[in-house]
Chain A
Amino acid sequence: MAAQYCCNQPMLQPTTTNTILPDELIDDILLRLPVRSLLRFKSVCKSWKTLITHPKFANIHLRSSTAAEDTSMANKQLIFLTKIEPYVILTYHLKQLFENPSTCAEPVISSFLKMKKYGIYGSCNGLLCLFDRSQCRLKLFNPSIRVKSKKSPQVFPPLDWTMRYYGFGYDQINDKYKFLVVLKDYDNGETLTKIYTFGEDSCKTIQNFPCNFICF
Chain B
Amino acid sequence: MAQEASSSTSSKTISLKTGDGEIFEIEASAAKQMKTVQRLIDDLGDDITIPLHNVFSKELPKIIEYYKKDITGEITKDFEAEFVKDLNDDEVKVLFLAANYLDANKLFEFLSQNIADRLESKSVEYVRKYFGVENDFTPEEESKLREERAWSFRGIKEDE
Interface residues of A (CB under 8 A from B): 1-3, 5, 7, 9-12, 14, 16, 18-21, 25-26, 28-30, 32-34, 36-37, 39-46, 48-49, 72, 74, 108, 146
Inter-chain contacts of B94 with A (CB < 8 A): 16, 19
State which of A11, A33, A34 has its C-beta within 8 Å of the C-beta of B54: A11
Q: How many A-B residue pairs have CB under 8 A?
A: 104
B: interface residue count bin: 35 or more
Q: 5 nearest interchain CB pairs?
A: A32-B116, A39-B152, A14-B56, A43-B145, A40-B152
**Contact of B132 with A18 in the complex, beta carbons under 8 Å:** yes
Query: In whole Å, how far is A37's beta carbon from the nearest beta carbon of chain B?
Result: 5
Query: In whole Å, how far is B50's beta carbon from the nearest beta carbon of chain A?
Result: 8
Known: A11-B19, A21-B93, A32-B116. A40 touches B58 (CB 8 A): no
Known: A21-B96, A43-B124, A45-B136. A5 touches B51 (CB 8 A): yes
Known: A12-B97, A16-B94. A37 touches B119 (CB 8 A): yes
Closest residue to B133 on the A side, CB-wise?
Answer: A45
Inter-chain contacts of B145 with A (CB < 8 A): 42-43, 49
Query: In whole Å, how far is B124's beta carbon from the nearest beta carbon of chain A?
Result: 5
Inter-chain contacts of A74 with B (CB < 8 A): 120
**Contact of A146 with B151 in the complex, beta carbons under 8 Å:** yes
Interface residues of B (CB under 8 A from A): 1, 17, 19-20, 40, 43-44, 48-49, 51, 53-54, 56-58, 90, 93-94, 96-97, 100-101, 112-113, 115-117, 119-121, 124, 127-129, 131-137, 142, 145-146, 149, 151-153, 156
**Contact of B116 with A33 in the complex, beta carbons under 8 Å:** yes
| A9 CA / B19 CA spacing, docked (Å) | 12
Known: A33-B119, A37-B119. A2 touches B134 (CB 8 A): no
Query: In whole Å, how far is B19's beta carbon from the nearest beta carbon of chain A?
Result: 6
Inter-chain contacts of B1 with A (CB < 8 A): 1
| A87 CA / B136 CA spacing, docked (Å) | 40
Query: In whole Å, how far is B18's beta carbon from the nearest beta carbon of chain A?
Result: 8
**Contact of B112 with A7 in the complex, beta carbons under 8 Å:** no
| A33 CA / B124 CA spacing, docked (Å) | 14
**Contact of B135 with A45 in the complex, beta carbons under 8 Å:** yes
Known: A11-B19, A32-B113. A44 touches B133 (CB 8 A): yes
| A11 CA / B54 CA spacing, docked (Å) | 6
